[in-house]
């Protein structure tokens, strides 16, 4: 067990050290999120009332797209230099590698989200600093990253991985995204907690299921 946690943390720490040095992944994700936000708002030509309606949809679309970018890059780093083999050769349960990658992908997601929220607030004059919304973002990102990391390790084997990941990931992640959008809208519009609970519960259930499934099948996915 200590070996398992040590390996998980080693993978996480390695990713963060490398990213702090190159800043490749986070920079790409940030630029991309910024473009998505701006384009959505131009394209939808919103008056302030409708803008409020679509805010959570735009936010989650941004997170989802930026997320696939990060998931792909972070797995490509492993694959292209053969490092994935190096990880798989370590004498630890391979799910430790999966959890390590989930942690670093999650960290990248959180950093980008921490950049997007104030940016969106400032550009469109909506207050997004709502504790409920932050909770939804936490839960939604966990589910999305849990399933995304697993699928990225499948997609990375293919030459068409950049297209393959969204094609695999979006349909499977739809339940997470729908519940997240619903709960976010609820919190932003100050709806009664009783109405938000179902979506919040669903998010928690998906987080648990996706993590458990990925834990079980990761080994089979990465072996030839």
Q: What is the contact surface with other proteins in residues (CB under 8 A)?
A: 3, 6-7, 9-11, 13-14, 17-19, 21-22, 77, 81-83, 85-93, 223-224
Considering only CA atoms, which of 157, 149, 156 is closest in space to residue 173?
Answer: 149
Q: How far is the CB of 109 from other proteins (least distance, A)?
A: 20
- Give the tokens for residue 92: 């630890």
Which of 51, 161 has the CB closer to other proteins? 161
CA atoms in the 13 A half-sphere facing the CB of 134: 9
Q: How far is the CB of 17 from other proteins (least distance, A)?
A: 6
Q: How far is the CB of 130 from other proteins (least distance, A)?
A: 37
Which of 18, 209 has the CB closer to other proteins? 18
Which of 62, 72 has the CB closer to other proteins? 72
Q: How far is the CB of 210 from other proteins (least distance, A)?
A: 25
Which of 8, 56 has the CB closer to other proteins? 8
Q: Could you give the CA distance from residue 15 to residue 100 in angstroms, rounded to a whole number?
A: 9
Q: How far is the CB of 153 from other proteins (least distance, A)?
A: 14
Q: How far is CA 24 from the centre of its chain?
A: 17
Q: How far is the CB of 151 from other proteins (least distance, A)?
A: 21
- Give the tokens for residue 160: 């068409």
Which of 11, 151 has the CB closer to other proteins? 11
Q: Could you give the CA distance from residue 189 to residue 172 in angstroms, rounded to a whole number?
A: 28
Which of 13, 213 has the CB closer to other proteins? 13
Considering only CA atoms, which of 6, 13, 26 is closest in space to residue 71?
Answer: 26
């Amino acid at each position: 067990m200590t070996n398992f946690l040590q390996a998980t943390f080693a993978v996480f720490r390695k990713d963060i050290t490398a990213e702090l040095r190159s800043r490749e992944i986070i920079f790409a994700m940030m630029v991309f999120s910024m473009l998505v936000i701006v384009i959505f708002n131009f394209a939808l030509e919103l008056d302030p009332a409708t803008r409020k309606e679509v805010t959570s949809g735009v936010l989650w679309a941004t997170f989802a797209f930026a997320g696939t970018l990060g998931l792909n890059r972070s797995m490509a780093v492993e694959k292209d230099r053969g490092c994935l083999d190096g990880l798989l050769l370590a004498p630890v349960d391979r799910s430790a590698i999966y959890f390590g990658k989930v942690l670093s992908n999650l960290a990248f997601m959180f950093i980008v989200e921490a950049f997007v929220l104030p940016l969106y607030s400032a550009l469109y004059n909506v207050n997004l600093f709502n504790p409920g919304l932050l909770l939804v973002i936490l839960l939604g990102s966990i589910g999305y990253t849990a399933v995304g990391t697993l699928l990225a390790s499948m997609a990375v084997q293919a030459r068409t991985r950049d297209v393959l990941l969204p094609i695999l990931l979006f349909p499977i992640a739809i339940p997470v995204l729908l519940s997240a959008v619903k709960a976010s809208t609820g919190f932003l519009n100050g709806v009664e907690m009783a109405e938000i609970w179902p979506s919040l519960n669903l998010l928690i259930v998906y987080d648990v299921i996706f993590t458990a499934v990925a834990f079980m099948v990761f080994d089979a996915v990465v072996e030839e």
